């Protein structure tokens, strides 16, 4: 039996097993970079964030994130099929772990790209344009560079950004849920 996407969303929302996911990393490639933090936000709940104690040593964080994602019935990301999930799987491979078991995955980047004609496609732009209460926390280049020599001092900002991303993602989902017509793994 196959459910219509909107019916499926109703079910996972009600069950609390729809999870919003975002990561922050030291860069864009899992062989030369590592994960700093991962936030998971079950629908209409509070986020849980897993963070490193030392840049480059993300073994514990990726295992905890894997467990959290595998406990969900569906994920919502913003460009997560292109970055977040592959980055997590790359880092899991680095540490000798199996990749995350697939789940139905709603990537709002692709959903909105194919349904909207906006000048910019960033999550930040869409949140501002749709006037959601949740907005993405912007971090300047100096803070990103500070990670190299002051992880302890910058990690609270990274966690705050990651949590703002999943909160914004949920807000974007609520504004655009009706556009979700297809859910793939």
**pLDDT of 104-134, one tens digit each?**
999 999 999 999 999 999 999 999 999 999 9
Task: Select from 127, 161, 168 the least CA-distant residue to 147.
Answer: 161
Compute the average pLDDT of residues 92-115: 97
Encoding tokens for residue 120?
Answer: 């910019």
The DSSP secondary-structure symbol of 23 reads: E
Q: Would you place residue 40 in the very low, low, confident or very high pLDDT band (cuts 50, 70, 90)?
A: very high
% of residues, the chain, pLDDT over 70 = 99
Structural domain boundaries, residue 140: 5-179
Q: What is the 3-state secondary structure (H, E, C) of 111-123?
A: HHHHHCCCCCCCH
Selected residue with higher pLDDT from 113 and 185? 113
User: Are the CB atoms for 158 and 140 separated by under 8 Å?
Assistant: no
- Give pLDDT, residue 184: 86
What's the domain count of the chain? Answer: 1
Which domain CATH number covers 125?
Answer: 3.30.420.10
> What pLDDT is stored for residue 3 in this prediction?
85
What's the pTM value of the predicted model, to 2 decimals? 0.95
Q: Has residue 120 been placed in a domain?
A: yes
Residue with tokens 């989902």, as numbered in its chain: 173
Residue 184 lies in a domain: no
Whether 46 is in a domain gets the answer yes
pLDDT at 1 over 80: no
Alpha carbons within 13 angstroms on the beta-carbon side of residue 127 total 20
């Amino acid at each position: 039996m196959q459910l219509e996407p909107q019916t499926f969303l109703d079910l996972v929302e009600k069950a609390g097993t729809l999870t919003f996911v975002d990561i922050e990393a030291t860069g864009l490639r899992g062989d030369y970079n590592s994960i700093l933090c991962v936030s998971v936000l079950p629908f209409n709940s509070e986020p849980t964030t897993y963070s490193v104690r030392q840049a480059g040593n993300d073994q514990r964080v990726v295992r905890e994130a894997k467990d959290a994602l595998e406990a969900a019935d569906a994920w919502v990301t913003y460009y997560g099929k292109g970055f977040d999930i592959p980055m997590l799987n790359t880092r899991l491979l680095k540490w000798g772990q199996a990749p995350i078991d697939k789940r139905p995955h709603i990537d709002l980047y692709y959903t909105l790209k194919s349904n909207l004609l906006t000048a910019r496609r960033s999550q930040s732009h869409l949140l501002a344009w749709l006037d959601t209460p949740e907005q993405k926390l912007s971090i300047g280049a100096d803070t990103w560079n500070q990670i190299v020599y002051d992880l302890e001092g910058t990690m609270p900002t990274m966690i705050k950004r990651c949590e703002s991303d999943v909160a914004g993602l949920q807000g974007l989902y609520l504004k655009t849920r009706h556009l979700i017509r297809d859910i793939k793994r």
